[in-house]
Structure 1
């Protein structure tokens, strides 16, 4: 009985201390927790530190610890610490001093450095983010000031918080030996904002739904229609002529055929389905690309339906979960392709396919993590989180990829090519320089990049600046446009290559489509130098490291869809022509 009463008492106390920020409902006088998150330079959004790494002081209220509720929170550097401020639901608080700081030389230098570098801080009330600036410099750039008063205007509707505003007031000059008093006040007011609409104030429709954005989508859509029509018309007319020529050749006797000048893609029918060089790597790349195509499609659809931007770290957490859950897709497509290519060491291929992308991601993240640890940044990933990621790879991704590989090898691993593969490879004849794969590959990425580069600007701005990306309908449309353009371009590239009697279309189609990512990375470099004011080794490493990962992933997806589309095309044209 005593034990039960104790648990009830503890539960009641926890409710009083923590508040109902998970249910987002409060009773009159119930505590509302103000969490202090991070502080950092305004121009370096990812270079963040714990709020109390600056010599701010904590309020008098008893400390509450916060744990990372999701893996995404931990990976995104969310470091919530209790402010110590006493805030109760619908209870106004007049201007109150909650702590004092004596400015010695070390604290003074720290605050001056923060003000000079335009440090901003972030807080949360009921999962609603609040931003404030540490201080400011006067026009002479000689005197530094800090804001000491926080005025909270909180809007409520029924028993829920629907609006939060912060006003920084009471500027005080930073001087050695000065005593800084930090104060706050809280004003509650009724609001007409609906709870489900409370995040609308953080969105920027004037930016994301600008006419340029709509025009770029329309322009890309028209380009797709034009490109698909052009490719279809050219290829159909060209292929019809090819079929007519090959049919005429079939009516000749052997002597006439030997004396005739045969050329074109039919001549490589005995080699066109020959496995490419490095089949293990190729199948692993295609398998990983199929998985990323699935993950990207599902995440975009969930973001459209679920408004994931309203929860901290939810996008990253869901992406990790979906990636792990879709590992059989990787194994199925990669394993079946490797089996059709005659691969024997399928266990090694499965391991490569499963760990290829996670190794790249973890390797880059761990490298940046060492820099974050050196800087004592909040982006530093704890060892337990690293261990959790390794466990996901070992105990979830690997077994599921194995299941997919076994299914793929047994259900779709038997080659069924329309043409027999010759025992001896046919020598590749000399051709014009612009028909070489090394020329076709870089040219193949220009049109796909042209269809998405405007959207890249909006995505980059939302991630690297203080914008919340929410127009996932636009993203889905651009994503579909990209896939269609990639397939059209790679089909044309493969046709030109085969018509030059070069049967190395597998790697060419994959790399021609994947070259889109090179242009994206070049654009990211341009964006860094001309569209941002980022500085410092940590932010620069973070930017170029994760943009490299983004580009590699995009290249995997584009390369895979380019290869799959080209494979269908090649099978189709060789299955409709008579082969001796």
Structure 2
């Protein structure tokens, strides 16, 4: 097993090929052709040479190695065959020719009609070009046949690449189309570490509405924290005073008194939640996801992961595997405190809950991708690699965390003893019902991240690179704070209504934020995008469901942990007879 770990983890850390981005004069520079697909369906991509394009005369090279994250993202780099040498200009040069037969003509007509774009990479810098255009007056379809590359260099490094598509050729049956290219090198003052800045869109991400939304969310946090502190402290002070009076009464006065409130359920409030095995697995998985998000966002801020192809996903996979003990610790300790007996079953469920959710969604979408012959289809070897990570890395680390959690924090030392017979739950007003509390609990947390969701969706589903991870970190912390505050209030109201089912209610009330996010994704799909087709629709709603479930796990876990601390605090302060 140790050998497998040593083999798998380095694969996750590799991003891009082994090139060091330093060139000598006239040294070979490789142009990689990646994918092609409709402009409005960013995720629907196909291999570049699935269209009847042709390669240049240059033979294949063997120094490129695809990483796990690139395979999962649908990257399909193939050598272009174009000869490009560092600082060596090339005039207009033909490199291949095709004759339009019936099949190739239909493929190119479909690509032009659906606004197909293609992507290339040169020294890890992305380049985009359009396949062709439609002449409305003539109702004719044209394809661009000439690629003009302008490459900027600073010293012995490439810092800029621009592509100009020229040379229209009409798409007609039997036409012979010749593809050409030219390369010109220009000295640039752009520093190598700043070469990715041209792909960023500061006017979009640093718009005043973005700053205003952050400020608005921050003010909401201050207001909520102050409100929760003021209301609960004043209310709890009155509760403590009333309960202290009751302690001084004799038995007859206490029996004649009007007893009500959260103290009355002290014998049931620490009763194990329904389905403790599932509940503890959800809490463990949510705690791990919360830590993964924090670490990946911090790494993205410090290391600018968006500049390296596949590095964000590679980092996320590695961090998720490395933090598996956190899952085991939180889930295992909670299950032990709930007097769970099947701890091995709980460990397996906790370890594979998130991976099975992700892999299940990807597996279903993979069938559609295979049917469409899209590059998003995950190769069988990649599936085996992911399975090995789950079995030989995540599971053993989860076991370590479970054992530590059961031994260090698994003792059920509750402030109150649990009654043998559950107390009947009295009738209460409709707005105190758990279902109503759950539905209302996610509104404020969703409001705090509403604007940021738009920027995240736009970067993932449109052609924008998300780079403001400082904003994301701040919004994530605001979300966690708002979620804890709202859930504590919901838990207090529920307990004050003498309903002790606070565990699932606190979890689901916080997790309901994800339901509002998923509903918002419907609005975004129909009103903010021009996506179409079975593949893109399934891909969008499938992965948005997975994103929303993950967000629900994080919010639900944070909400439960905050409520748990609150419950322990108030019941540990009051003297219980």
TM-score normalised by L of structure 2: 0.96
Q: Is 1:74 matched up with 2:42?
A: no
Mark the CA change 1:73 to 1:373 in structure 2 (over 3 Å): closer, same or farther: same
Aligned partners of 2:388, 2:264: CA distance in 1, in Å? Answer: 51
The aligned counterpart of 1:447 is: 444
- Kindly state the Cα deviation for residue 366 of structure 1 after the two structures are TM-superposed: 0.7
Matches within 5 A, 1:64-463: 64-65=61-62, 67-140=64-137, 142-463=139-460
- Kindly state the Cα deviation for residue 21 of structure 1 after the two structures are TM-superposed: 6.8
- Kindly state the Cα deviation for residue 513 of structure 1 after the two structures are TM-superposed: 0.2
Aligned partners of 2:55, 2:64: CA distance in 1, in Å? Answer: 19
Mark the CA change 1:141 to 1:326 in structure 2 (over 3 Å): closer, same or farther: farther
Q: Is 1:470 matched up with 2:467?
A: yes
Q: What is the CA deviation profile of residues 33-66 of structure 1, one whole-angstrom value per residue up to 9, with x for unaligned ones?
A: 0000000000000100000000001101112257
Q: What is the CA deviation profile of residues 407-452 of structure 1, one whole-angstrom value per residue up to 9, with x for unaligned ones?
A: 1000110011111111111000000011000110010000000000
Q: Deviating runs (4+, > 4 A) in structure 1?
A: 65-68
Q: Is the 8 A contact 1:368 1:542 kept in 2?
A: yes
Aligned partners of 2:126, 2:541: CA distance in 1, in Å? Answer: 27
What SS class does the counterpart of residue 185 from structure 1 fall into? strand
What SS class does the counterpart of residue 118 from structure 2 fall into? strand
The aligned counterpart of 2:59 is: 62
What SS class does the counterpart of residue 169 from structure 2 fall into? strand
1:525 to 522, 531, 545: 522
What SS class does the counterpart of residue 172 from structure 1 fall into? strand
Q: Is the 8 A contact 2:17 2:65 kept in 1?
A: no
Q: Is the 8 A contact 2:17 2:66 kept in 1?
A: no
Aligned partners of 1:20, 1:387: CA distance in 2, in Å? Answer: 22
Mark the CA change 1:143 to 1:339 in structure 2 (over 3 Å): closer, same or farther: same
The aligned counterpart of 1:504 is: 501
Q: What is the CA deviation profile of residues 101-144 of structure 1, one whole-angstrom value per residue up to 9, with x for unaligned ones?
A: 10111111110000000000000000000000000001247200
Aligned partners of 1:431, 1:51: CA distance in 2, in Å? Answer: 63
The aligned counterpart of 2:547 is: 550
The aligned counterpart of 2:571 is: 574
Q: CA RMSD in A?
A: 1.1
- Kindly state the Cα deviation for residue 68 of structure 1 after the two structures are TM-superposed: 4.3
* 423-432 or 21-30, which deviates more: 21-30
Aligned partners of 1:20, 1:539: CA distance in 2, in Å? Answer: 29
Aligned partners of 1:551, 1:113: CA distance in 2, in Å? Answer: 34
Q: Is the 8 A contact 1:65 1:82 kept in 2?
A: no
Q: Is the 8 A contact 1:123 1:131 kept in 2?
A: yes
Q: What is the CA deviation profile of residues 253-287 of structure 1, one whole-angstrom value per residue up to 9, with x for unaligned ones?
A: 11000011100000000000000110000000000
Mark the CA change 1:20 to 1:425 in structure 2 (over 3 Å): closer, same or farther: closer
Aligned partners of 1:66, 1:143: CA distance in 2, in Å? Answer: 42
What SS class does the counterpart of residue 147 from structure 2 fall into? strand
Aligned partners of 2:169, 2:529: CA distance in 1, in Å? Answer: 30
Aligned partners of 1:35, 1:554: CA distance in 2, in Å? Answer: 36
Aligned partners of 2:258, 2:138: CA distance in 1, in Å? Answer: 81
Aligned partners of 1:139, 1:54: CA distance in 2, in Å? Answer: 23
Q: Is the 8 A contact 1:490 1:513 kept in 2?
A: yes
Q: Is the 8 A contact 1:516 1:555 kept in 2?
A: yes
Q: Is the 8 A contact 2:18 2:64 kept in 1?
A: no
Gaps of at least 5 residues in structure 1 are 1-18
Q: Is the 8 A contact 1:95 1:185 kept in 2?
A: yes
Q: Is the 8 A contact 1:339 1:414 kept in 2?
A: yes
Q: Is the 8 A contact 1:68 1:74 kept in 2?
A: no
Aligned partners of 1:275, 1:505: CA distance in 2, in Å? Answer: 10
Aligned partners of 1:70, 1:286: CA distance in 2, in Å? Answer: 32
TM-score normalised by L of structure 1: 0.96
What SS class does the counterpart of residue 163 from structure 1 fall into? strand
Aligned partners of 2:258, 2:294: CA distance in 1, in Å? Answer: 48
Q: Is the 8 A contact 1:61 1:85 kept in 2?
A: yes
Aligned partners of 1:146, 1:86: CA distance in 2, in Å? Answer: 22
Mark the CA change 1:188 to 1:491 in structure 2 (over 3 Å): closer, same or farther: same
